[in-house]
Amino acid sequence: MLRIDHALVAAMVAHARADHPDEACGVIAGPADTGEPKRHIPMLNAERSTTFYRFDATEQLRVWRDMDDADEIPVVIYHSHTATEAYPSRTDVKFAGEPDAHYILVSTREESVADVRSYRIVDGEITEEPIQALGDPDAVQSYKFGHSPDVLVYDCQ
């Protein structure tokens, strides 16, 4: 299960909305000793594509070094899907290189809502996991749970 603050979910969704129609991508870092998601790091999609994302190599090296210097790890690696559901593509699975990370996908295919789902991807195996959003959702925006308790549906209106 991924336990994450509503404010971090809102930050990912805002980033995905801002970059739409291109896919957005980024990381949420957390202390290495706890693995709790704490610090949102939006990154540049070097592909500037509606169907694919790739971290800029120079930026990724800097971000990973900064995390290492702060004794942090990439707890969440996220990106958006702009025209499809929030489910990892074959390419997403191929490039999932952090076996301990939670992979969050944010679908922005609908204007009024964004589906947010979390997965573990290890050795090509995709496992969806529940998301427990922490804190006060009213302090950020309104959230609604969608058709499954594992999926956050972010009301963008």
Look at residue 156 and tell me whether its pLDDT is greater than 90: no
| Measured distance CA(81)–CA(53) in Å, rounded | 9
Look at residue 41 and tell me whether its pLDDT is greater than 80: yes
Q: What residue spans define the domains of the chain?
A: 2-155
pLDDT one-digit tens code per residue, 119-139: 999 999 999 999 888 887 665
Domain spanning 2-155, CATH class: alpha beta
This prediction's pTM: 0.89
pLDDT band, residue 86 (cuts 50/70/90)? very high
Cβ-contact 75, 30 below 8 angstroms: yes
From 152, 28, 40, select the one nearest 101 (Cα to Cα): 28
